[in-house]
Structure 1
Amino acid sequence: MSSVIVIIVNILLAVVLAVGLTPLWVWWERRIAGFIQDRSGPNRCNIGFIRLGGLVQAVADMLKLIFKEDFTPSHVKHKFFFTVAPVIVFLCSFLTFAVIPYADVLTIDGKAHTMQAVPTELGILWFLAFAGLSVYGIILGGYASSNKYGLLGSIRASAQVISYEAAMGLSLISIIISYGTIHLTDMVNAQAGTYLGVIPMWGIFIQPIAAIIFIVCSFAETNRAPFDLAEGESEIVAGYHTEYSAMKFGLFQVGEYAAMSASSALIVTLFFGGYQIPWMDTQTIQSNINYVILAIIILLPIKIFIFTRWMKKNNKAVGKDTSREKETKVLTIIFWSLCIGIMALLISFLVTGLGTNGVNIATAVIQVGTFMVKFFMMAFVYMWVRWTVLRFRYDQLQMLGWKVLIPLALLNIVVTAIIVVIGN
């Protein structure tokens, strides 16, 4: 029974983090763009007095795409390819998330459970396989559109993939040499120690050059600015999805955000310790679980207090419109109710004890929470860069990939191999 529950939890986490967060990403990106450009962003769409800081706007946009007419232009010759292209992009982007570990191996009643949606030994190779396949959907979509702008977008996508994919694969070779495994859970566990008792043994400190190369290539992988050449609206209208509308267009957009989620999760897993808390490995958390729970009980109301104060400060009444203040009061009550409920549950754990299974499950929950904090921070970096850095020219990306990233990745492999052989 425990195996079935763990499998369901892993699949639900993958679905929610890869696809279910799309409305949140759209809202978050608009708010970040508004902040960077010194404007409000979405804050008008509402259900009654509920605005959720503009999140209702993202939900409305999603419903619009669902119920909008699914139109296929008459000049499209290959309608099957035209229809299946966004599905390929969506599925490949979603499946790349399936091997991301959210926590260390969970042991219940003596049985070990891998905290991955697809517990495969392929590890990083699974990610590379499906991440590389997603570009076929983009190429197919532009070609099947029978549109010159769509075809140009497809050509750009194919040129882009050969510019960054080689550098990305070479940067991962250095990581594999350093960790001695392709299994992502083993890679995360290898980052649990410290240098000199202070610096975490994260991949960003072990392989800083590989981290930079991989992160740059990941931006190109997701087709987001500054590498959104395949859909450069200032040059080729919308590129490969110019002729798409309704949910076909929606699948392309969801696929883009799913790719961003998968890339963010993999960057966290490889270079920022994954689910590991700095200076605390799995055994340390388990042996000090009461202190960890006590720290959460202390920190949680402080964070809720700061967040509710921020909401109150930024949602004051505008003239006679008091809807924002009403919403703030309702949300404040909801957040404090959840906070009190969670604190009561945690206190009951401290009083009654957890037992062996309880300690293992609590450790897994804490590690999942740690992973999600890092995951959201990396997703923020994606959005921050998109609204800060200008788009690269078509030739600049190719020069960056072939003349800078690939030679640098090859040099890094040689240096890493020499250090590993000398250090045995």
Structure 2
Amino acid sequence: MDNTNAKQWDNDHFLHPWEGMDTLGKNNRTLVEGASGIHVVSDEGNKLIDGPGGMWCTQIGYGREEMAEAMADQARQLAYFSPFSNTNSTAARFAREIVKRAPGDLNQVFFTTGGSTAVDTALRFVQFRNNLLGLPEKKIIISRQKAYHGSTYLAASVSGKERDRLWLDKANELTHFLPDVNPLYRAQNQSIQDFLNEKVADLENAIQTLGPDKVAAFIAEPILASGGVIVPPEGYHKRCLEVCRRNDVLYISDEVVTAFGRLGHWFASKEVFGIEPDIITCAKGLTSGYSPMGAAIISDRLIEDVAGQDATFSNGYTYSGHPVSAAAGLKSMEIIEQESLLEHVQLMTPIFQNRLRELSEISLVTDTRGMGLMGCVQCSETGDAQDDLKRDYQLGAMIDAECQKRGLILRPIVNMCVFSPPLIINEAEIHRMFDILKAGLLAVLKAN
């Protein structure tokens, strides 16, 4: 295929997510034209380790023929059905396989097109339930600074990344944000335990100030992924769930990133953090990125509150339960089990996290953090954890460029390099990935 004009067409016609208007039409993005295993291949033939795993999603790796065959077989038999008036055995089977692995009584799956629509669905269901329960004022959603829950209207409204909230309207009357839970920014000489107590008190105080009769739900990523792989203090989620239960506030666990193996379990809520939420949202690893799909998984307790009532949950998508996506999800799940990838992640985690922590020895690095096969390397030219924004963007771009020269794609979020490689990554590949990152960091340090 002739790609001679592709970069120009990209600049002329492809409006990308998070497109900067200052560079609109003037970008020089890498053309990714092929992939296999943990690597992507550029149009120039360069083989690059995919550090961020696409967008936190390529669990089983690229180029799986069995995935292509499963999707093609389904497309040949049935490429689409209307979920508004019919059903399909592949989608029904996929829903069943998901709930078999979900915690507690989360037994109802609402299929969506991705993570944003999964969060929107969860929030709309909370509103719907409270309306039917005669609680029309109980609508406020509590979220957190640095949280990211999506870019559809409600999902964006509960997202707390300040820079993403500058230019677009949000449903501000429906949201309240708690302070940053990143232990890096705790007060000087404050212990982790005291910081934990403070963060839990933030939630309790917010509910009491706003009024338990006004607060509908608390939404939380187990690990704040796009916020910079922020890991709250141990015990945070369990204690927050207890606060929610005492105040009749629902708990939504946004596992769009952490579900389907990223932390070595199907779902992280119970197995890693010891909680059974009311709703779990998921996407990304649901199909290993081979086809778009998301889901909101709702507990029986909530469903029982609305079942039998003369009302319609008027929320849905043309592609809810899409059969080709469902076939991809079933096959991905099968591969994860056949190849023991959950156990593999648990074995690789100490190696990954040790190499991550070793980078803190480089003066350019202000913090390293992570869990499972998720990690973040936060950098600063001055050693200040919160540096000048423009310089931070430039620093992230320089590190990315140096690493791409050496065979590694990063996802620089301003001055933070985040990692979530395919779950199939082995020990030698982990070392290779971090060796390249280290070389890239040292090259930038030397240049400055």
> TM-score range with shorter-chain normalisation?
under 0.3
So what's the TM-score if we normalise by structure 1? 0.28
Structure that is richer in strand per residue: 2
TM-score by length of 2: 0.26
Larger Cα Rg: Structure 1 or Structure 2?
1
